[in-house]
Amino acid sequence: MITYQGLTDQLLGIVVAKENPDLEDKKANLVRESAETKRQLANTEAQILKTLNEVQDILGDDNAIMILDNASALSKDIAKKQEKAKVTEKEIDDKRTEYKPVALKTAGLFFCVQELAFIDPMYQYSLPFFINLFEISIA
Amino acid sequence: MIEERLEHLDNQFLESLFKNVCISLFEKDKMIFSFLLCLKLSELRGELDPAELKFLLTGGVALGADYGEKPAPWIDDKVWGELNRACDCKAMKTFLPHFKAKVGIYQQLFESKEPHLWEFPEDATMLNAFRKLLVIRALRPDKLVPSISAYIVDQIGEFYIKPPTFELASIFLDSRNISPLIFVLSPGSDPL
């Protein structure tokens, strides 16, 4: 079952990838980076807990204080990175939105072509046929 | 800049879709397809009232309602009934008083040899291109098809009422060993 929403998203992906490959790359990078920072954050948190757990006299242990200091600096850094990533993501989404009207219209036309089957059952057109035409016409 | 590009994309795709789908349609169905495209685009722009489309397709159901006195003798019961039912659509409500006031002018449409080329009075502002079809349907159902053809030209351009000529060479390029071409022939036609 093909839904209007799903098809619109798919077409949007196609048109943006063709029209603005940098943007799609950027988006992919962003997803990777955000996964990486999330992993770092989890590590840091684990480290903090571990240190707190192991050390008896927290104020007397220079090593523990250093580790906590480091962790605090790192988590600040990560928070900053995530902030920045959010801005970039919004930028990318805004750019993508510009192409949305084309995707919406094209998805509508797909369902229009599907209706031809009511006129004659021979008139059946597949989604790959339709998407292929769409890709060719962007080029 | 981006708007221009988007418009270009839209047009390019619509043209290519029309060309490629038309290849596989019977001649008689090509205009229906163009009309469907027009309707879909106008629906996507939020301009199409389903009630109006329903009237265009069915003429509305006569339930023996009394539509009141006819404003002129040349209007028969069927025309009067359809006109009233067309004016049941939300945006058409103001058309009926307008019609009554200008009934002399609309008689020209009723008697015209080429109603699909007829110019509606300037103050018929409640009628967009589609609603004019409803009036044509009520007054001149015999010329609805040429009127729809004119509507298609007006909406998406002349290209869409002149199906591309049959070119075996270009169609052949689309075929492969696993997607063959199939010809549905009727007596007297020869694709080669």
Residues of A in contact with B37 (CB under 8 A): 109, 112
A137/B29 touch (CB, cutoff 8 Å), yes or no: no
Q: How far apart are CA B51 and CA B91, in angstroms?
A: 10
Mean pLDDT of B45-69: 85
Contact A112 B36 (CB under 8 A): yes
> Do residues A20 and A97 make contact, with C-beta atoms less than 8 angstroms apart?
no
How large is the ipTM? 0.81
Binary contact (A106, B36; C-beta < 8 A): no
Q: What is the mean pLDDT of residues B71-99?
A: 86
Question: Which one of A98, A104, A105 makes the best mutation probe of the B interface by having the most chain B beta carbons within 10 Å?
Answer: A105
Please report the pLDDT score of residue B191 as a whole number. 65
Mean pLDDT of the B101-116 span: 87
pLDDT digit string, tens, across residues A93-129: 888 888 899 999 999 999 999 999 999 998 999 999 9
| Higher per-residue pLDDT: B42 or A50 | B42
Q: What is the band of A50 on the pLDDT scale with cuts at 50, 70, 90?
A: confident
Distance from CA of B7 to the nearest CA of A (A): 8
Which is more confidently placed, B74 or B67? B74
Rank A76-85, B82-91, B148-157 by mean pLDDT and report only the highest.
B148-157
**Is the model's pLDDT at B56 over the cut of 80?**
yes
d(CA B174, CA A129): 11
| Cβ pair A19:B5 closer than 8 A | yes
Residue A16, both tokens: 């943006």
Question: Testing the interface with B: which of A12, A95, A96, A119 to mutate, by most B Cβ within 10 A?
Answer: A119
Q: Which of residues 31-70 of A touch B (CB under 8 A)?
A: none
What is the domain count for chain A?
1
B7 touches chain A (CB under 8 A): no
Structural domain spans, chain B = 2-173
Average the pLDDT over B161-177 and give the result: 83
Looking at chain B, the whole-number percentage of residues with pLDDT higher than 70 is 97
Question: From the list B12, B26, B40, which residue is nearest A112 (CB)?
Answer: B40
Q: Pinpoint the alpha helices (H) of chain B.
A: 2-22, 27-44, 50-58, 77-86, 95-101, 103-111, 129-139, 144-156, 168-173
Task: Compute the residue count for chain A.
Answer: 139
CA B14 to the chain's CA centroid: 17
Minimal Cα–Cα distance from B3 to chain A, Å?
8
Residues B85 and B74: their CA atoms lie apart, in Å, by: 18
CA end-to-end distance (rounded Å), chain A: 28
What's the number of CA atoms in the CB half-sphere (13 Å) around residue B123? 9
Enumerate the residues of chain B whose CB falls inside 8 A of the CB of residue A101: 6
Estimate the share of chain A in helix, then strand, then coil, as percent rounded to the nearest 5.
85, 0, 15
Interface size A-B, in CB pairs within 8 Å, comes to: 66
Give A57-76 pLDDT, tens digit per residue. 777 778 788 888 888 888 88
pLDDT band (50, 70, 90) for residue A45: confident
Structure token pair of residue B29:
């169905």
Which pLDDT score, from 0 to 100, does residue A7 have?
Answer: 93
Scan residues 95-114 of A and list those with Cβ closer than 8 Å to B. 98-99, 101-102, 104-106, 108-109, 111-113
Q: Nearest-CA residue of chain A relative to B28?
A: A119
**Contact in structure between B12 and A139 (CB atoms under 8 Å):** no
Verdict on whether the full-model pTM lies above 0.90 = no
Tell me the per-residue pLDDT of A1-21, one tens digit each, with 9 for 90 and over: 889 999 998 999 889 888 888
**B115-122, long-range: CB < 8 A, 24+ apart:** B115/B139, B115/B140, B115/B143, B115/B147, B116/B143, B116/B146, B116/B147, B116/B149, B116/B150, B117/B150
Chain A residue closest in CA terms to B22: A123
- Residue B5: what pLDDT? 87
Cβ-proximal residues to A11 (8 Å cutoff; 6+ apart), any chain: A102, A103, A106, A107, A131, A134
Q: What is the DSSP letter of B180?
A: -
Which residues form the domain of A123? 4-138
User: Which residues have a Cβ under 8 Å from the Cβ of A1 and sit 6 or more positions away?
Assistant: none
Q: Is B117 on the interface with A (CB under 8 A)?
A: no
| Nearest CB neighbour to B16, from listed A116, A120, A136 | A136
CA dist., res. B99 & res. B123, Å (int): 11
